[in-house]
Structures are given as C-alpha cells and as structure tokens.
Structure 1
Amino acid sequence: MGQAISFDTSRAKRANMKPVPAKPNLRNQQRADVSTEITLEKPDGCQLTCKVSNISRTGAMIQCDGEIAKSLIPGMLPPAPKNPVHVTARFSVPVLPYQPVTVVAESNLVHIRRIARNNFQIGLQFSSFEGNGFEYIDRYIAKLLADATSN
C-alpha cells in the first residue's frame, strides 16, 4: 500500500453525505416478544401453522420455513403495498391464568424477509377481529409490556 504524501488538510473540500434513510417501522405500536403458534388460513381453505416471534396491537411477526413461506406468498416476492396477501389468523392468548382464548383476525401479509437458509419472517397486519379479539390482544400486550418493564 502506498503512503500519504501530505497530511495537510487546509485545501480539503467539505463533503456532504447523503443521510441513510431508516427502515420505516411498519407497526406504530410497541412489540412484545412471544413464542406461540398461529394458524393462518388462506382464502382457498388451506391452513398452515407457524410461530409468532413478536406481536403488537396492530400485527405480528411470523417465523416459518421456506415451504410455508412459498405457500403463503406466491413467488416469495414482497407483497405490493396496495395488494397484500389476505389470510385469517387464529391464535390463543391467555386472558386469565389457565384460561386462554382464541383470537380470530382477518389479516394481511405485508412483508417477507429471509433470515437464514430455510427461515423466513413474514409481517402480518391485523385488519379486523371477530368478537372481542382486539380487547384480548390489547390486554395481553399490556401485560407483556408491563412484565418486561418490571424485570
């Protein structure tokens, strides 16, 4: 490698750097880490079981293998913003100790990311809930976040 001829910086010009845009947070709610199963039902009736890695009041991050990802998102291409993939999500949350309830939510798959060779994360955005589903999720997440700050 060559050596610097001069360290004189008196004639150096100012360089403007372009700011690196931060990735937008697709969910404006606090996320709580969880590890639970979720069943996703496609419009054709096909049901697939995945794991939830975190959840918020507006959505969840799903982890699955490549086969399930291919089945959920055709071509494994990120869904277009105005053309999400629709599914029905079913999962349990503990409202009271020893009394889990099943939440059913119409949802959209809005994001896909490969995190390992055969491991994918899929962003799920809730669009509507059956019954008291939103209230159950709201209580569950409030409890998870309260427990996390008290530890």
Structure 2
Amino acid sequence: MMSKAFTAIALILPCLLLTQCDAVEKAAGRGNAENPAVAFDVAIEMTPAAAARFKATGDTLVVDVAYYGYPTEAARSKANGLHQIDLGQERVGVLPNVAKVHMPGGGLNQKGLSDIVDGDVMVLVDGYSITPDSNEDNQVRCSYYRDRLEMARSKPPVLKCDIPAND
C-alpha cells in the first residue's frame, strides 16, 4: 500500500508540471500562425554569467516583439500615448541555450497597416527570463532592438543577454 505522502506527490507533481507547461505555452505565444511575409529570426548572445543563471534556475528565455507604426494623418486619433499605432505583439519562449529564435510574424495585425505611414512596420524586440517557480522573473535581461521590420528581416537583430547590474 502506498503512503499518503507518496500518493500526494504522485498526484500533485503532474499538476505542477502541467501548470508550468501552460505558463511557458502562454509566454511562447503559441497559436500565432506563420506569416512568411513578415517572419524573421533573432540572434541570441548570452554572457557566461547569464548562461550560468539560466542553467542553475531552469528559467525560460522569452523573446517579445511589439509591432507598431506611425499614424497617417487620418489615423492620428487611433494612436497610443507614444503617438504610434499598435499592430500587435508576439512572444516566443525558448530554452536559453539557443543561438537563434524564429519569430513567425503571426502576431502582426495586418488590418492596421492602412493606419500607418507608407505601411512601414516597426518592431521593438526584447528578451527576458521567466522562472518556473516562485522566484522573481527577469533575472536575466537582454538588450533591445528597435528598427523597421524590413531591416529585421534583412539582418537578424541581436539580443545580448546578461544579469542586470543591480543583482
């Protein structure tokens, strides 16, 4: 006969694992369809300290892309507080030992393109860590990249990841 402690662990462990998988899936932005016309890759450069932190904590690296553009005269009322038209967001969660992350482009709202000047989409690419437990997220942070989508597609942006100076 199994002990109560063993039974409790056997029942709780799969739930915890499923919860963590769900958190990574949410961060990963799964469900965004591939859009080859706007998909691009992001190069990851990790300092030895950041790599060690990832290895020790089991964190996930999230690459986050915000798509936006500058409003046409007719769409100025739709602009946000930064005077930009939000065109969507996309997050991809990966194991931190990868050198390249593929952004499928499905998070770009194609309907908003008519609201931006010349249809010129901008991207803001960022990276950060999320933890599998109750530790604080963002223990590893990456540089950001901001430029036209066309530039990101022609030469992959590089995110340099390190431990924040105040840690």
Look at both structures and tell me which one has the larger radius of gyration over its CA atoms: 1
Query: TM tier, shorter chain?
Result: 0.3 to 0.5
Provide TM-score, normalisation by structure 2: 0.30
> Counting helix residues as a fraction of each chain, which structure ranks higher?
2
Provide TM-score, normalisation by structure 1: 0.32
> Counting strand residues as a fraction of each chain, which structure ranks higher?
1
More relative contact order in 1 or in 2 (CA 8 Å, sep 6+)? 2
